[in-house]
Amino acid sequence: MRATALLIFLGWSAAVRAQMPVTPAGTAASPGSLLTELGLPPARKVTLAEALAYARDHQPAVLAALAQLRTEVAKAQVPRAQYLPLVGVTAQFLEGTANNTTASYLGDPFVDLPRIGGTPARTGNEAGWKPYASTLAAAGISQEIFDFGRIAAQAAAADARVTVAAHAADTQRLDIALNVEEAFFAVQAARGILQAAEGAYQRSLVHRDFASAGVKSGLRSPIDLTRAEADLTRFDTGRIRARGGVSASQAVLAAAVGASELRLDAVEEAPSTDELPALREAIQLASDREPRLRQALGRLRQQELETRAVGALSRPDLQLSATISARSGGAPPSNGGVPDGSGYLPAVPNWDGLLVLSWPLYDPTIDARARASRAAEEVQRSEIDLVRQQVVASVEQAYVGVVVARQTLPALRRELDAAGANYAQADARFKAGLGTSVELADAESLRADAEIRVALGIFELAKARSMFGRAIAEGLR
């Protein structure tokens, strides 16, 4: 459950327990002045557009998704780097026996060194155990000539991962926007509850004073005063809770947009009144734009390209290699001459250039990896069907939610009008000495319940419209 939804639920519970009616705007003290009494500084007011824009640029979840996207873009350059030449150097010194060799050296992963020279082959009793020095200094370069599509297949799979990351970032942005909108309207609802609580307290204070005067004059029974005192205390408790609800909802809004302030206040704005598209059109819009569905399709495409890239590993590879080196071995060569320096000075120059064709004709690990990748493709296809069903269901649910909220609001307002008329009659009867405090309290509760229903009905309509916008991925093309 989202934090904003939980906040509204708690606000509703507090309102019902305290019987806090929602009064028209302008009849209660401002929320800022009430929160100041709690020692909290006034929160900065923002419009919905400002909150959404700030969240797009500063919300940590959005920034993390964008960072992941940049990471995948950088990774996509890794396979393409295989087209660039590879340059390396090596310098070696070796001391050891030299049967059938004059210059002994280790293989180097960056320099291709051909075998040159040799000593007389000695075996058995003729084999020598005297060590000789060997030195080597070389530089080499290798260049991919033609890879038969292997690198291109790896690059295509990496590009597919970038596409998946981009759709994931879009999903995160839409989810954050929905959270911001819900938090924004939750602040407005909490402020309405605060105004309702303060209005209920002020009316109860008037009734208490009226009952007190009536008891002193002997026109009222003491029970009217004790009931008025109880109602006044109850509404005082309600407005304290409502102040906390405003502060909490403002904190949720600040967290939703990723603001550095502890709290943000929402400017009074009416929710969107845009007409909904037809349900069939809405489902089509969601199918075309929903990033979760695009992400699932992208994962399938990525897995198919991964399978192709694995299969491409079994293709031939053609490379050009060139090396320049100087070497020397201290062991006597087969021609009897010993180079100057006795192998400690690499003074014999050599160079080479070669074209290398390599072809892994059979590698069982490649076949096994390809089979595993094809099995993963089936999983991705199943996930696409699941996401598509979820998208359609979310659109239908959000569509019905908006329609129900719109149709319910007029009935709630009629209920409020009737409850207001009933309260006015009960109040007049009480002041005329014809009604009791119980009758007035019952009318107050009826009015409070109706006004709370209207306030929450307005919030539910705004929330339902935001959820519908998220379901059809409004803002994406």
Type of residue found at 330: G
* CA atoms lying within 13 Å on the CB side of residue 79: 21
Handedness of CA 258, 259, 264, 268 (dihedral sign): negative
Quick one: pLDDT at residue 117? 55
Q: Flag the least confident range among 150-154, 422-426, 452-456, 470-474.
A: 452-456
pLDDT band at 345 (very low <50, low <70, confident <90, very high): confident
Quick one: pLDDT at residue 375? 95
Quick one: pLDDT at residue 389? 93
**Which are the contacts of 186, defined by CB distance < 8 A and separation ≥ 6?**
4, 7, 8, 249, 252, 253, 459
Look at residues 410, 402, 415 and name the one whose alpha carbon lies nearest to residue 451: 415
How much is the pTM? 0.75
pLDDT in tens, 122-133: 556 666 677 777
Domain borders along the chain are: 3-78+153-302+369-471, 83-119+129-147+309-368
Q: What is the DSSP letter of 331?
A: S
Of 378 and 242, more confident: 378
**Angstrom distance (rounded) from CA 459 to CA 440:** 29
Q: Flag the least confident range among 108-112, 294-298, 437-441.
A: 108-112
**Angstrom distance (rounded) from CA 63 to CA 65:** 5
Quick one: pLDDT at residue 476? 77
CATH architecture of 3-78+153-302+369-471: Up-down Bundle (1.20)
Look at residues 390, 370, 386, 387 and name the one whose alpha carbon lies nearest to residue 303: 370
pLDDT in tens, 389-404: 999 999 999 999 999 9
pLDDT band at 11 (very low <50, low <70, confident <90, very high): very low
DSSP string, 62-85: HHHHHHHHHHHHHHTHHHHGGGS-
DSSP string, 289-306: H-HHHHHHHHHHHHHHHH
**Angstrom distance (rounded) from CA 315 to CA 363:** 11
**Angstrom distance (rounded) from CA 222 to CA 182:** 47
Q: Using an 8 Å Cβ cutoff, are 348 and 383 in contact?
A: no
Look at residues 35, 302, 78, 55 and name the one whose alpha carbon lies nearest to residue 191: 35
| Planar angle of CA 174, 399, 407, nearest 5 degrees | 125
Q: Return the structure tokens found at 77.
A: 């350059």
Quick one: pLDDT at residue 38? 54
Quick one: pLDDT at residue 1? 39
**Angstrom distance (rounded) from CA 6 to CA 417:** 29
Quick one: pLDDT at residue 457? 86
pLDDT in tens, 306-343: 999 999 999 998 988 888 888 877 777 766 666 677 77
**Angstrom distance (rounded) from CA 7 to CA 190:** 9
pLDDT in tens, 265-294: 888 877 776 788 899 999 999 998 899 999
Q: What is the DSSP letter of 95?
A: E
Query: What mean pLDDT is predicted for residues 42-57?
Result: 90
User: Residue 24: is its pLDDT beyond 70?
Assistant: no
User: Residue 90: is its pLDDT beyond 80?
Assistant: no
Type of residue found at 30: S
**Angstrom distance (rounded) from CA 89 to CA 111:** 6
Query: What mean pLDDT is predicted for residues 11-15?
Result: 42
